[in-house]
Amino acid sequence: MTAVAVKYQELQELGVEFLAVSTDTHFTHKAWQEHELSKMVDGGLPYPMLSDANGTIGRLYGVYDETSGLDHRGRFIIDPDGIVVGIELTQAGVGRSVSELLRQIKACQHVRGTGEATPSGWEPGKTTLKPGSALVGKVCDFWSPE
């Protein structure tokens, strides 16, 4: 969460809004913000932390664990039309990569804006693929996994 906070300005420049959601109460979020997060990031998190204490949001996204009463760790990229275009689920305790989040957002925005496909590991300015019959059997002429 603090790694995202450090890159929050870059996310904002991409037109992205970031929300953190957990089954913790807003009281827990406030205490965590004041006593822990604000020590790691000046002023604490610059984005909202939402409470999903009853698991409603987690159920909608398929990450709520009825047994533990907790949401599994997940990240969802939602496009301007409200469509989920990227999902990452991780085991509790496994850190996530903000650099990969930014790369995926840029790729999603490129695909949406151009209709082109972005190969594995694509970065802005790198080769894209133009889907269509002309590409059939010729992907290897345009892209390599290295």
Q: Please determine, for residue 49, whether its predicted confidence score (pLDDT) is greater than 80.
A: yes
Q: What is the pTM of this model?
A: 0.87
Mean pLDDT of 53-69: 94
The per-residue pLDDT for 43 is 87
Predicted confidence (pLDDT) per residue in 86-143, tens digit: 999 998 888 899 999 999 999 999 999 999 999 888 999 998 888 877 777 777 777 7
Element (H, E) at 114: helix 98-114
pLDDT of residue 115: 93
H/E stretch holding 3: helix 2-6
pLDDT at site 146: 67
Paired tokens of 96:
């996530």
**What's the whole-number average pLDDT of the chain?**
91
Domains of the chain: 2-96 (3.40.30.10)
Q: Determine phi and psi for 76, rounding to 5 degrees.
A: -125, 130
Quick one: pLDDT band at residue 58, thresholds 50, 70, 90? very high
Grouping H, G, I as helix, E, B as strand and the rest as coil, residue 74 is strand
Chain centre distance of CA 85 = 10
Cβ distance 72 to 92 under 8 Å?
Answer: yes
Residues 6+ positions from 47 with CB-CB distance below 8 Å: 4, 5, 8, 17, 18, 19, 20
pLDDT score at 65: 93
Per the CB < 8 A criterion, the answer to whether 89 and 72 are in contact is: yes
What integer pLDDT is reported at residue 140 of this predicted model? Answer: 75
